[in-house]
Amino acid sequence: MSFRVTDKLRTLLVPSTRVVVFTGAGVSAESGIATFRGAQSLWSDFRIEDYATPQAFSADPVRVWEWYNWRRREILKTGPNRGHNAICRFERYFKDFTLITQNVDGLHDQAGNRRILKLHGDIWETRCCMCGNSVIDKAEREQPLPPLCECKGKLRPGVVWFGEFLPEIVHEQAISSSKSSELFFSVGTSAQVYPAAALPSLARQHGAYVVEVNIEKTSAADYADEVLIGKSGEVLPELLEYFAAG
Ligand code: OAD
């Protein structure tokens, strides 16, 4: 064991505990997907305002689409890692389990999770700016870019950009699950981007036992009862060893 599992956490690792796992880009780091912050991250190489705002898309939809096509290709080269797979086991083990993710890469779906609240959308979704019609597929968007809808509206990636609201119903469900959770894991997120980053403290205020899993402490640690330092692909599989047999 690279970390110590406290008695309190052990007692909570039973199927009847209401559990939320809240994930960020760090969960996909071991699949080779760049995180957003820190060394060799997306936002150290690209400016948010050029790629991840509605204004960027209005100003240069071709540049934005080329970037998303590149990110799609990077994700297609890889697959879920041990951390994703462990979170899938969590869903099967805990009777009341919610996965809330900020990730748009679809690797949780690929790992087998079924109940996923995607706070920042889905990179595999393409949505019309005019009629709102959306499709989910893994095909690269071909030239000419931006692709157009049958209604002639511009199609955009179905992700949430800076300055946009989170999908309302998904956000409400995330708040409600966090408030009613008894055990809340904040995994692989820098907990810097709001409103998502408010969920660990919300869970704590409503009585959840909050556990951060990260390679370093983040601001979520301020609200955490425990911080398990390590890679999610190592820490989460180790936690499975405490699941009751059968
Ligand atoms: P960040 O890139 O901000 O943070 C990634 C976190 O993962 C950091 O705290 C790392 O320490 C941690 N980490 C890295 N490798 C890890 C590993 N193997 N195991 C565990 N932890 C690891 O990513 P997010 O917090 O997801 O939003 O970023 C939040 C939002 O900001 C994203 O959804 C995206 C971004 O801009 C939008 O695009 C709207």
Pair 171, 155 in one domain: no
Ligand 1: centre distance to CA 37 (Å): 6
| Ligand 1 pocket, residue 232 CB under 6 Å | yes
**Residue 18 parent element (H or E):** strand 18-23
CA-closest residue to ligand 1 atom 26: 24
How high is the pLDDT of residue 140?
80
CA-closest residue to ligand 1 atom 32: 102
Pair 51, 97 in one domain: no
Read off the tokens for 220: 């979520």
CA-closest residue to ligand 1 atom 36: 36
Pair 24, 110 in one domain: yes
Q: Report the CATH number that the domain containing residue 91 is assigned in CATH.
A: 3.40.50.1220
| Ligand 1 pocket, residue 52 CB under 6 Å | yes
Ligand 1: centre distance to CA 110 (Å): 19
Residue 120 is a catalytic residue: yes
Pair 150, 235 in one domain: no
CA distances from 157 to 67, 114, 243 (A): 11, 22, 39
Alpha helices in 107-208 (DSSP H): 107-111, 168-180, 199-205
State which of 159, 178, 206 marks the end of a domain: 159
Domain enclosing residue 197, as ranges: 1-33+80-120+166-246
Q: Along the 246 residues of the chain, how does pLDDT read in single tens digits? A: 567 889 999 999 999 999 999 999 999 999 999 999 988 899 998 999 999 999 999 999 999 999 999 999 999 999 999 999 999 999 999 999 999 999 999 999 999 999 999 999 999 999 999 999 999 989 888 889 999 999 999 999 999 999 999 999 999 999 999 999 999 999 999 999 999 999 999 999 999 999 999 999 999 999 999 999 999 999 999 999 999 864
Pair 41, 21 in one domain: no
Distance from C-alpha of 73 to C-alpha of 47, rounded to nearest angstrom: 20
In ligand 1, the atom with minimum distance to the C-alpha of 231 is 19
How high is the pLDDT of residue 1?
54
Pair 92, 139 in one domain: no
Pair 102, 191 in one domain: yes
Distance from C-alpha of 143 to C-alpha of 160, rounded to nearest angstrom: 23
Q: What is the pLDDT of residues 38-91, one digit of tens each?
A: 888 999 989 999 999 999 999 999 999 999 999 999 999 999 999 999 999 999
φ and ψ of 82, to 5 deg: -65, -30
Residue in the structure block whose two tokens are 């990636």: 157
Ligand 1: centre distance to CA 245 (Å): 33
